[in-house]
Amino acid sequence: MHWADYTAQRLMERGSAQVSASGITPSGEFHIGHLREILTAEMIHRACLNAGLDSKYIFIVDSMDPLRRVYDFLSPSYERYIGHPLAYIPAPDNNGEPGSSGESYANHFLSPFLGALEQIGVVPEVVMNHESYERGQFAEHIHSAISKKGEIKSLIEGISGRELPDDWFPYNPRGSDGSLDGVRVTGYKNPYVYWEDSTGMEGKSDIRMAEGKLPWRVDWAARWIIHGITCEPAGKDHGAAGGSYDTGIPICKLLGGIPPDKIVYEWIQLRGMGPMSSSSGITIGPMEALSLVPPEILRYVVARSKINRHIDFDTGSALFQTADEYERLVSSDPEVGEGMSKRQIVAINTQRGALRLSQIKNGANPDDSLGGVSFRHLSMLAQIKSSDEDVWRSLRKSGHIVGSPTKSLKERLVRMRAWVEGNHFPEDSRLEIMDEIGEEALSNLSKSSISFLEQLSVLLSNCEWSERGIENAIIDSCEAAGITRREGFSSIYWVLIGRENGPKASSLISEIERASVVKLLGSKDSRPSDA
Tens digits of residue pLDDT in 301-358 = 999 999 999 888 888 889 999 999 999 999 887 777 777 888 888 888 889 999 999 9
**Mean pLDDT estimate for the chain:** 92
Burial of 488 (0-12, 13-18, 19+ CB in 10 A): buried
> What pLDDT digit, counting tens, does each position of 213-245 carry?
999 999 999 999 999 999 999 988 888 899 999
pLDDT digits (tens, 9 = 90+) for 172-210: 999 999 999 999 999 999 999 999 999 999 999 999 999
For 1-137+266-364, the fitting CATH number among 3.40.50, 1.10.10, 3.30.1300, 1.10.3470 is 3.40.50
User: Among candidates 308, 128, 312, which has minimal Cα distance to 234?
Assistant: 308
**Terminal alpha carbon distance of the chain:** 60
34 pLDDT above the threshold of 60? yes
Q: What pLDDT digit, counting tens, does each position of 371-411 carry?
A: 889 999 999 999 999 999 999 999 999 999 999 999 999 99
- Among candidate residues 5, 26, 29, the one with its CA nearest the CA of residue 281: 29
Q: Which tens digit of pLDDT belongs to each residue from 258-302?
A: 999 899 999 887 665 444 444 444 457 677 888 888 999 999 999
Parallel/antiparallel/unpaired status of strands 202-206 and 192-196: antiparallel
Cα Dmax for the chain: 98
Cα 212 off chain centre by: 34
Asked if the model's pLDDT at residue 529 lies above 50, the reply is no
Task: Note the CATH number of domain 439-521.
Answer: 1.10.10.350
Give the Cβ contact number of residue 75 at 10 Å.
13
Average of per-residue pLDDT across 427-434: 92
Give the domain ranges of the chain. 1-137+266-364, 371-429, 439-521
pLDDT, tens digit (0-9, with 9 covering 90-100), for 137-178:
999 999 999 999 999 999 999 999 999 999 999 999 999 999
Three-state DSSP class for residue 257: coil
